[in-house]
């Protein structure tokens, strides 16, 4: 079953519930995702949260949208995030050390734990384009 | 997220309900931290929390650390499966007080 769906969301914390509902609806479409649905929803919500929290830090009431595109083909899940916020520097996007217990810094860790690949790419018309990939071949 | 607080002696039990994300962390902290600062033993009942992300985990860590600072404890009670999964992913099961 191939999937290719995209949706725009307002860039604010209230949208995160909508992001999760969008992801859950898609992952409910195929049993391939059933074992890891909660983790995949978490990864998507964390990446969307990073846009709100970091790319739009100190920017409130923006009319910008963030776009999330979920595609699944040949057993590969790709989740694209597009935004026009402050440029992300992949070098600076690191999670905290787990034994340094303090609030914050876990979102990126969760994303990297759940997904196989986390990369920033170029996308015309957008400032940041994050792509999360997970391969389901070994899970068949 | 909604909540309900029951106090009995020095134990305050906070029943949290719903999804805990960045949008509700301030609300959660406003409920939990004053109880901790009042040196109550705080029990967070998480049986009806269906979703928690890194922001929610931060609230648990902050509450736990504040409790240690003032000399009390925060215990996590009846943790739902989905929340436990996230706590374990963050390798916090040995750090937070899980009941």
Q: Residue B76: exposed, middle, or buried by beta-carbon count in 10 A (0-12, 13-18, 19+)?
A: buried
DSSP of chain A? --EEEEEEEESSTTHHHHHHHHHHHHHTT-GGGGGGHHHHHHHHHHHHHHIIIIITTT--S---EEEEEEEEETTEEEEEEEE-SSPP-GGG--PPPTTS--SS--HHHHHHHH-SEEEEE--TT-SEEEEEEEE-GGG-
Mean pLDDT of chain A: 92
Please give the tally of structural domains in chain B.
1
Three-class SS of residue B1?
coil
Domain holding B24, by residue range, is 2-98
Higher pLDDT, A130 or A99: A130
pTM of the model: 0.93
What digits encode the pLDDT tens for the residues B10-30?
A: 999 999 999 999 999 999 999
Residues 23-82 of B with CB under 8 A from A: 23, 51, 53-55, 57-59, 61-62, 65, 82
Please enumerate, as own/partner, the contacts of B3-8 that have beta carbons within 8 Å and a separation of 24 or more: B3/B28, B3/B31, B5/B31, B5/B35, B7/B40
Report the C-alpha gap between A99 and B55 in whole angstroms: 18
Reply yes or no on whether the pLDDT at B95 is more than 60.
Answer: yes
> Residue B18: which CATH number?
3.30.750.24
Domains of chain A from N-terminus onward: 3-139 (3.30.565.10)
| Range B33-47 average pLDDT | 98
Higher pLDDT, A137 or B61: B61
| Residue B92 forms contact with A (CB below 8 Å) | yes
Residues of A with Cβ-Cβ distance to B91 under 8 angstroms: 98
- Of A49, A105, A113, which is closest to B53 when you measure between CB atoms? A49
- Of A14, A46, A103, which is closest to B53 when you measure between CB atoms? A46
| CA nearest to A42, candidates B57, B28, B98, B25 | B57
Reply yes or no on whether the pLDDT at A73 is more than 60.
Answer: yes
Residues of B with Cβ-Cβ distance to A60 under 8 angstroms: none
Task: Count CA within 13 A, CB hemisphere, residue A2.
Answer: 3
């Amino acid at each position: 079953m191939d999937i290719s769906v995209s949706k725009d969301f307002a860039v604010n914390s209230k949208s995160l519930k909508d992001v999760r509902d969008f992801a859950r609806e898609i992952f409910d479409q195929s049993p391939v995702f059933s074992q890891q649905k909660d983790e995949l929803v978490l990864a998507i919500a964390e990446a969307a949260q990073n846009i709100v929290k970091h790319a739009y830090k100190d920017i409130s009431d923006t009319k910008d949208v963030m776009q999330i595109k979920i595609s699944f083909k040949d057993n590969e899940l790709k989740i694209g995030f597009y935004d026009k916020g402050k440029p992300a520097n992949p070098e600076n996007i690191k999670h905290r050390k787990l034994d340094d217990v303090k609030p914050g810094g876990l979102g990126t860790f969760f994303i990297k734990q759940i997904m196989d690949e986390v990369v920033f790419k170029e996308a015309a018309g957008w400032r940041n384009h994050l792509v999360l990939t997970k391969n389901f071949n070994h899970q068949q | 997220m909604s909540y309900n607080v029951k106090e009995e002696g020095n134990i305050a039990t906070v029943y949290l309900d719903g999804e805990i994300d960045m949008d509700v962390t301030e609300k959660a902290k406003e409920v939990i931290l004053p109880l901790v600062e009042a040196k109550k033993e705080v029990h967070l009942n998480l049986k009806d929390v269906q979703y928690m992300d890194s922001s929610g985990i931060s609230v648990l860590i902050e509450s736990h650390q504040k409790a240690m600072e003032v000399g009390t404890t925060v215990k996590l009670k009846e943790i739902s499966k989905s929340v436990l999964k996230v706590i374990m992913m963050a390798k916090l099961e040995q750090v937070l007080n899980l009941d």
